[in-house]
Amino acid sequence: MKRAFKAVVVGVSSGGLEALKILVPGLRKDLSVPVLIVQHLSPQADSYLALRLDEVSGLKVKEAEDKEFLQAGVAYVAPPDYHLLVEPDGSLSLSVDPKVNFSRPSVDVLFETASDAFGAALIGVVLTGANQDGAKGLARIKRRGGLAVVQSPESALADAMPRAALESTNVDHVLPLREIAPFLNNLLIGPSHANTD
C-alpha cells in the first residue's frame, strides 16, 4: 500500500547548487506534495536560486514567503539569511533568530518544525554538505515515523553532511544523487510509464 506523505524537506550545503540542479528538475510536476528546500547561501546572496531552478524544472520553484500556505507540486526555497519554519496549519514562517549550526537558514530548523507539522507523513532528504546541519532534524523525522533519505556520501561533493545524517539515525534509504528524484517520483506518484516530461 502506498504511504500517504504530505511533504518533502531537503537540506543541502556546499556542492548544493549542482546537486539541486539535478534533483529538482528530476521531480515530476504532478508531484502530489510540496517540497521545501534549505540551501546554505551567503547572507548577501540574491534570490536567484529559486528563479534559476524554476527555469529548468517542470515543478514550480519559488522563494518561500512568510505566512503563505503550502501547495502540492510547488518547491519552496528558503530565502538567504532567514530561517524557514513550517507552522502546524501548513503555512510557512520566516525568522531571523540566531544562526543554528552556524547557518541561517538552517536545515535542522526546517526539518524539526516540518516534523512537528507533518509527523510520520514527512520525507527528509539530506544532500551534499561540509557540516553537521540536518542530522538532528533527520533524527527527529525518523523518531516521529517519517522517512529518512540521504545522498550516498560517495556521490556527494562534500560528504560530511550526509555522513553526520547517517550517524544520527537509522536512515531508510541511501541513494546516489541521480537516483533520488526518480525514487521520490516513484514513491509519491507511482512507477513511471515510458518517458515522462
Partner 1 sequence: MNVHPETERIELRLLLEAIYLKYGYDFRNYSMAHLKRRAEYRLSLSGLASISQLQHAVLHDEKMFLIFLQDLSINVSEMFRDPPFYKALRNEILPMLGTYPSFKIWHAGCSAGQEVYSMAILLHEAGMRERGQIYATDFNRAILEQAREAAFPLAQLKDYTTKYQQAGGENSFADYYAADDERALLCSFLKERIFFSEHNLVTDGVFGEMHLIVCRNVLIYFDRELQDRVVGLFVDSLCPGGFLCLGSKESLKFSRHAEKFEVVREKEKIYRKRRDA
- The residues carrying an active-site annotation are 13, 40, 133
Residue (97 or 172) nearer to partner 1, CB = 97
Subset of 89-108 contacting partner 1 (CB under 8 A):
91, 93-98
d(C-alpha 130, C-alpha 106), whole Å: 13
Residue range at the interface with partner 1 (CB under 8 A); choices 5-13, 109-117, 169-177, 187-195: 109-117
Beta bridge partners of 44: none
Can residue 51 be called a binding residue for partner 1 (CB under 8 A)? no
**C-alpha dist (Å) from residue 43 to 14, 39, 79, 138, 160:** 14, 11, 9, 24, 22
Residue range at the interface with partner 1 (CB under 8 A); choices 28-36, 113-121, 126-134, 176-184: 113-121
d(C-alpha 115, C-alpha 79), whole Å: 20
Binding partner 1 (rule: CB under 8 A), the pick from 105, 112, 124, 166 is 112
Can residue 116 be called a binding residue for partner 1 (CB under 8 A)? yes
Shortest reach from residue 44's CB to partner 1, in Å = 9
Q: What is the C-alpha radius of gyration for the chain, rounded to an integer number of angstroms?
A: 15
C-alpha cell at 174: 541511501
Binding partner 1 (rule: CB under 8 A), the pick from 39, 57, 101, 115 is 115
Instruction: Check: CB of residue 49 under 8 Å from CB of residue 76.
Output: no
Q: Beta strand 83-86 with 92-95: parallel, antiparallel or unpaired?
A: antiparallel
Burial zone of 30 (CB within 10 Å; 0-12 exposed, 13-18 middle, 19+ buried): middle
Shortest reach from residue 179's CB to partner 1, in Å = 30
x/- map, 119-158, partner 1, by CB under 8 A: x-----------------------xx--------------
The residues that touch partner 1, with contacts defined as CB under 8 A, are 65-68, 79, 82, 85-88, 91, 93-98, 109, 112-113, 115-117, 119, 143-144
